[in-house]
Amino acid sequence: MMNSDSSEIVIVESQEVVKLQPQQRKKVNVRRMTVIAVLSSISIMLSMVPGVGYIPIGPTNATIMHIPVIIGAIVEGPVVGIAVGFIFGLTSMFRALTMPTITSFAFINPLVSILPRILIGIVAYYVYQLVVKLTKSVCLSGWLSGLIASLVNTLGVLGMIYFLYGERYAQAMGESASAAKTLILTIATTNGIPEAIVGGFLVSAVAGVLKKRKK
């Protein structure tokens, strides 16, 4: 939120209002750019290590790639989450182009590979802010933020696949076109729920430590 005086900027975080002078604002921007660079590098490295960033489960992949996105959004705000989510989406598209599987055709489309990953950071930030305001608990806020943002990733990707490629996706997976809805719901349940639970605990642990260090 900008003050009427252009020489300072006002940041509202966790019910605390802090006015930053130009030099302080520059330090904040540099810190955020550094966080984006570090978390994006982690995302890229995870995507390149077989069985770590993307974990093959038959023709589909479970993932922990959304964790840096959520942590970045909670610690430094939605812009950082959006930026790291964009990098996550690009790695997904890159894998679809360079290491194709029977379902990679869907992930070449940025509406499937990038858009849901951008939304992760936005949802994570605002869920965290809302829950921490209501409960004053960093651990609970981190857990719920990680849980819900992980589900946004799963449901966003699979939802876009269903609406854009439902029948083709089902046929690629060896199912009839009419079974597309059931197939995608099954994948969402078997992959999405474990990812969300693990994501909640990881984000709660890491974000809590980083928030304390930041203060």
Residue 99 located in a structural domain: yes
Residue 150 located in a structural domain: yes
Q: Does residue 33 lie in a domain region? A: no
Determine the average pLDDT of the residues in 107-134.
95
Measured CA to CA, the distance from residue 183 to residue 176 in angstroms comes to 10
Rounded to 10 deg, the angle between the 115-135 and 78-98 helix axes is: 150
**Residue 2, pLDDT above cutoff 50:** no
Distances from the Cα of 170 to the Cα of 144, 157, 161, 186, angstroms: 32, 15, 10, 12
Number of domains in the chain: 1
End-to-end CA distance of the chain: 20
User: Residue 101 corresponds to which tokens in the numbers above?
Assistant: 């599987």
Amino acid at position 94, single letter: F
Decide: residue 137, CB within 10 A, 0-12 exposed, 13-18 middle, 19+ buried: middle
Is residue 25 a part of any domain in this protein?
A: no
Least confident of 18-22, 61-65, 120-124, 130-134: 18-22
- Confidence category of residue 28, pLDDT binned at 50, 70, 90: low
93-120 tens-digit pLDDT: 999 999 888 999 999 999 999 999 999 9
φ, ψ for residue 181, nearest 5 deg: -65, -45
Nearest alpha-carbon partner for 115 in 89, 94, 93: 89
Two tokens, residue 2: 């900008």
Q: Is residue 28 part of a domain?
A: no
Q: What is the pLDDT of residues 138-193, one digit of tens each?
A: 889 999 999 999 999 999 999 999 999 999 999 999 888 889 999 999 999 988 89
- CATH code, 88: 1.10.1760.20
Q: Is residue 198 assigned to a domain?
A: yes
The CA dihedral of 149, 155, 159, 160, to the nearest 10 degrees, is 40
Is 69 inside a domain boundary? yes
Quote the pLDDT of residue 53: 74
Question: Is residue 46 included in any domain, yes or no?
Answer: yes
Tell me the residue range of the domain where 132 lies.
38-214
Report pLDDT for 138.
Answer: 87
Q: What is the pTM of this model?
A: 0.81
